[in-house]
Amino acid sequence: MEPLRFSLLGPLRAWRGPTELSLGSPQQQAVLAALLLRRGRHATTDELIAAVWASPPTGAASVVRTYISKLRRVLGTRWDRTRSVSALRSGPGGYALSLPADASDAALLEKEMAEARRHRDGGRSDEARGVLLRALGRWSGSPLAGVPGPVAEAERERLVELRLTLEISVLSLDLELGQHRQAVPELFRLTAAHPLREEPRRLLMTALFRCGRRAEALALYEETRRILASELGVAPAASLRRLRDRIMAGEPGPGLGAAKEPAGHPSTDTAQERQGSLATLPTDLPDFTGRAAETDELVAALSAGSAATGVAVVSGMGGVGKTSLAVHAAHRLASSFPDGQLYADLGTRDDQPVALDDILSCFLQTLGGQDIVVPHDRVERAALFRTLVAGRRVLFVLDDASDAAQVRQLLPGSALCAVLVTSRTRLSSLSATVRIALDAPPPDEAMEMFARMIGSPIRDADALVLGRLVEVTGGLPLAIRVLASRHAARAGWPVAQTLGGLRGGPHLLPALRAEGLSVADSIQAGFGRLDKDQARAFLLPARAGMRDFTTTEAMTLLDAERREVRRLMDSLVDAGMLTSAARERYGYHALFFAFARGHDRGHTD
């Protein structure tokens, strides 16, 4: 009989020769996975029960014996001289799978890792890289996808971590072999997918420096420092700080200096790279989805050139994806602004607006170097800023502006430059080349966004649950990203299993929080910018249960005249807190309605 083969580096699968076998229910697959992971050692019935259920049902032992019987029939038997022998054997210690050492892709993976280590220890980096790439090619999705139980979950986490280790090892070898240019795009992807991992960031800083992109390498360090401080309250590791210091000093040092280009790969340095480009944009999202028309409009408007500074304004409610769109478009525009692409977050810090003096100082130090003398007077700072950008093609991304006055003080005077502004308000008094009022995407695009974020298509069985969640969240991109983060933490589970317990109503908003992302905090940031009258006008209709309402209905609630009510409601539309589909008719986005209904009633007094 032909040998058995198993795959664990994706959905659990088995073959007898070329024929794929049907492995039964998810719980039956969990029993098989537990036996495969024991590598020929016996597993007792109690151990198999613990592998399948965190809280075993009544009669679990009988169910396990049934699964064992079915698996024996699926895996078949072979003849050994005069008797038939099953791959799945019973013994005094329980049950065991009798298989060759290399019967699973996970076992082959470990052999290849050992082979790669031998090559690397022997100074054969190229051979080691080839073996690791072959090992990475064995993955076919999330390990043990769809297999339930504590043992499968633990093994899934181990294998996911192992894959990341292998990816980092390959990229480290790329840098050893002088393939730093080819490594940069993949390193950007890894740093975006694993923002708290320092090793991919160390490799990316090194690769950027070798490519002549010193400013980007230093900007990446600053981004890393901010993320670690915000998320974990820690500073970067000493090795990363030393790397930053060496890059600032322009001292190559061990492993940092540009490696010799391999044969057949001539250098592609440009004059811009040799001089160093100013680039402080955040990393583009690898799973950015949709917004194609808006992106094309921004790129066309800001790359066309004009007699004055090009200004684009992207406005919309909190969590609608303004920053993601602006950063994505800015990366598309980078080649049109070879002298630099600079980013500044103008949003509040600890409920206090960012000081314009600090933003100008940061721009001056980036444009003029650390040795520049920054004037104390804001007018002088602004004048020096315009002087430094004169004659340069620089793109500025001003994120989360509070009002037009804040933006005006940061506009360069050069027509060669362009400015991309995001704001919750419409910034109507700001002269702009193009304006984009961003709304939540349609349901099909929101579901596609979720699929891109989790890295796999939506199963038919999950589409109904996801569609309902898209409906109750109004398709708000930030909410979709939170849902995707919750699901990613349980890799291999069906969407219905991880998200099925979420429902609309007052309990949904507190649940939309994951890994530093919070829909409620995003809405609160906009609410915190309202004055007392605006806050009251925002809260009262929702407290009365009115998701949509007219000016007349609001007059009764607010006990105010039509003109004043219209002014307040229009100001809330401009601030991105309400929507308006027709004159004197207003409404809430689903999650903003939930926020208003659940907010502290003291704010309406």
- Within 268-395, residue ranges assigned H as helices are 271-275, 292-303, 322-333, 356-368, 378-389
Q: How far apart are CA 456 and CA 573, in angstroms?
A: 37
Q: How far apart are CA 528 and CA 554, in angstroms?
A: 22
- Amino acid letter at 476? L
* Same domain? 252 vs 290: no
Please write the tens of the pLDDT for every residue from 315-368. 998 889 899 899 999 998 888 888 889 999 888 655 566 778 888 888 888 887
Domain membership of residue 327 (yes or no) is: yes
Are 572 and 578 contacting, i.e. CB atoms less than 8 angstroms apart? yes
* Same domain? 313 vs 368: yes
* Same domain? 30 vs 65: yes
Residue that finishes a domain, picked among 437, 458, 488? 437
- Spatial CA neighbour of 452 closest among 194, 193, 157: 193
* Same domain? 292 vs 409: yes
* Same domain? 65 vs 204: no
- Within 76-179, residue ranges assigned H as helices are 105-121, 125-136, 150-176
Domain membership of residue 491 (yes or no) is: yes
* Same domain? 320 vs 422: yes
What is the pLDDT at residue 276?
A: 43
Handedness of CA 256, 258, 264, 266 (dihedral sign): positive
Rounded to the nearest 10 degrees, the angle between the axes of helix 532-543 and helix 551-558 is 110
Domain membership of residue 264 (yes or no) is: no
Q: How far apart are CA 546 and CA 554, in angstroms?
A: 10
* Same domain? 289 vs 372: yes
What is the pLDDT at residue 390?
A: 79
* Same domain? 337 vs 476: no
* Same domain? 285 vs 353: yes
For residue 357, the tally of other CB atoms under 10 A from its CB is 16
Domain membership of residue 268 (yes or no) is: no
pTM: 0.54
Terminal alpha carbon distance of the chain: 81
Q: How far apart are CA 26 and CA 153, in angstroms?
A: 13
Question: Residue 378: helix, strand or coil by DSSP?
Answer: helix
What is the pLDDT at residue 436?
A: 93
Question: Residue 398: helix, strand or coil by DSSP?
Answer: strand
Please write the tens of the pLDDT for every residue from 537-558. 999 999 998 999 999 999 999 9
Helix/strand/coil percent split, the chain, to 5: 50, 15, 35
Domain membership of residue 457 (yes or no) is: yes
* Same domain? 562 vs 590: yes
For residue 50, the tally of other CB atoms under 10 A from its CB is 17
| Nearest-5° Cα angle at 99, 98 to 101 | 130
Instruction: Give residues with Cβ within 8 angstroms of 227, minimum separation 6.
Output: 195, 196
Q: How far apart are CA 345 and CA 576, in angstroms?
A: 18
Question: Residue 250: helix, strand or coil by DSSP?
Answer: coil
Residue that finishes a domain, picked among 485, 520, 555? 520
Structural domain range at position 306:
278-437
Residue 546, domain CATH: 1.10.10.10
Domain membership of residue 113 (yes or no) is: no
Residue that finishes a domain, picked among 105, 135, 168? 105
* Same domain? 66 vs 27: yes
Q: How far apart are CA 175 and CA 183, in angstroms?
A: 7
Domains of the chain: total: 5
Helix (H) or strand (E) holding 188: helix 180-193
- How would you write 422-488 as a 3-class SS string? EECCCCCCCCCCEEEECCCCCHHHHHHHHHHHHCCCCCHHHHHHHHHHHHHCCCCHHHHHHHHHHHH
Low-confidence spans in the chain with pLDDT less than 50? 79-84, 254, 258-276, 602-603, 605
Are 344 and 435 contacting, i.e. CB atoms less than 8 angstroms apart? no
* Same domain? 203 vs 316: no
- Within 6-44, residue ranges assigned H as helices are 26-37
Domain membership of residue 46 (yes or no) is: yes
